Amino acid sequence: MTNLPDSSTGAPDPWASLKAFTAARIALGRTGISVPLRESLALKLAHAHARDAVYSTLATEQLLGDLATLQLPVCQVRSRAQNRQEYLQRPDWGRQLADESKALLAEHVGEESDIIIILADGLSATAINEHAGPLLRLLLPQLQLAGFRLGPLVLAEQARVALGDEIGQLLRARLVLLLIGERPGLSSPNSLGAYFTYGPRPGLTDEARNCVSNIRPEGLAYPAAAAKLFFLLQEALRRQLSGVGLKDQSDLLSA
């Protein structure tokens, strides 16, 4: 067994300085042969936060208020999954629009747009509630200044990533950017992922899309995420592709 410091002796922990570089559970110490009670309780609390994130819901009123400042029309849709239980047990339903949502989007079809942005609850609506607004306030002005035609913003409930393909096709978008709550971890119950797909249509698989993940203050900060996404979205539209054929070379611009 690794000779970890015994917290009952008050001895300094030689591993403690490494905690500044990772959120992983290292240097927990021990009390006799057990993990200290404080660390055991912290693990249970983190697990509870992760479970809560899976069952969290979109703060619709708050989001609509935040999105109103962006001056784009907003549509609210949902997948075929009628509740969280169905969403978790039938991932395929989370990838398909409910019939009433298809009809709603048909009313918003206009001229072809370059980009449609979707906010989807995914496995952590908490991530959308906390991070989508700050990220979009940085990203949207860059897209608008670059002259891209933006379609309506879409709020999607009980949504999986591939739901964006059907939404993008119905709204005649060249590219769809879907912000979604990622699967919660024990150190990150509120991590936001950004997936984008050129030429969205039902039936695409994951190699056809790109992902920028772990967007949150403790991970990829908003300014860095917005800059990375702006570069990638420009490249996707310029080269008319996304997925494995599109590599992130944004770091080379500052080299």
Residues 41 and 24: their CA atoms lie apart, in Å, by 15
d(Cα 121, Cα 155) in Å, to the nearest integer? 8
Give the helix/strand (H/E) hosting 231: helix 222-239
Report the distance separating Cα 187 and Cα 46, nearest Å.
Answer: 7
- Compute the C-alpha angle 41/47/53, nearest 5°: 140
pLDDT for the residue numbered 232: 97
Which portions of the chain are predicted below pLDDT 50?
A: 1-2
Give CA–CA dist 213/192, Å, rounded.
Answer: 6
Residue 118's nearest CA partner among 185, 57, 173 is 173
Collapsed DSSP state (helix, strand, coil) of residue 90: coil
| pLDDT for residue 213 | 95
Q: Are 124 and 191 in contact (CB under 8 A)?
A: yes
Q: Give phi and psi for 20, each to the nearest 5.
A: -70, -15
Q: Whose CA is closest to 197, among 243, 160, 135, 247?
A: 243
Instruction: Specify the pLDDT at position 222.
Output: 97
Closest CA to 131 of 224, 229, 221: 221
> What is the distance of C-alpha 252 from the center of its chain?
25
pLDDT tens digits, residue range 214-225? 999 999 999 999
> What confidence score (pLDDT) does residue 1 get?
41
Name the residue among 88, 120, 244, 144 with its Cα closest to residue 193. 120
Q: Please give the pLDDT value at position 12.
A: 64
**Class of domain 60-247 (CATH, top level):** alpha beta
